[in-house]
Each structure stands twice: as structure tokens, then as C-alpha cells.
Amino acid sequence: MDISEKKNVNFLFLLFWVNPHAWTHSLHYHYLTLSEPGPGLPKFLAVGYVDDQPFIRYDSRRGKAEPQAPWMALVDAQYWETETQKQRAWEKVQQVEMWTVMGYHNQSGGMWITLAAHGNSLGSFFFFF
């Protein structure tokens, strides 16, 4: 390795050291549950994000998972059926959690909203070497 190649490697290492988020990716799901949805609103809404861009959406009115990014429209039907089943299960979990919170506060009616989110971030820095 000559001196210019060593400088390039050192520069790349420094770049990742100074800005470790330069090549990170994230996957997050956000869930919204309404106890008494208004006209036209779903009781449950789930949106998945990759790098802060929506790629999947499910709501209780439509009852199925749908692509939100052009590249997701290319995924096969089995994926969408599986995602629909997962989101229906999450819908039930979120509904039970809402009823539980309402019970803690001795409430049986009125407008209640629960929000939940989960996800993670992956830094490709570790895959650099």
C-alpha cells in the first residue's frame, strides 16, 4: 500500500469516526389507536418507516397492509398477506392496551388515543471493514 492509499484509508476511517451516522439506516413502526374514531377515521393506524420515509401503511378501515413507497409495490402478494396478518394482530394488542389504560383511569367512554412506536437503527460502519 503506497502513501496515498494509506491517506485515503485514514480519511475514510476519520470520516466514519467523526460522523458515525453518515451511513445509518433505521426501521420504525408507529401505531395510533382511537377509542372513538370520528367520521372517516380508522380505529387503528400503523405506518412503517425506513430512514424516515413511509414504506408500509395499514389501517382498520381498509383492513390490509399497503405499500407507501414505489419500491414496495414490487413485493409479492405473500408479503402483503403476512404484513396484513401482523398488523391485524398489533391492532388487537393496541386495543387491549387502550382498554387497560382506560380501566386504570376508571373510564368507559370518551375519546382516548394511544400511541406506540418501536424500531431500531443499524450503522453500516461495522460492515465497513
**Do the beta carbons of residue 34 and residue 65 sit within 8 Å?**
no
**Do the beta carbons of residue 54 and residue 66 sit within 8 Å?**
no
**Do the beta carbons of residue 55 and residue 47 sit within 8 Å?**
no
Q: pLDDT by residue (tens digit) across 104-123? A: 888 888 888 888 888 887 76
Q: pLDDT by residue (tens digit) across 27-77? A: 999 999 999 888 999 999 999 999 989 999 999 999 999 999 999 999 999
Query: Residue 83: what residue type?
Result: E
Domains in the chain and their CATH numbers? 24-127 (3.30.500.10)
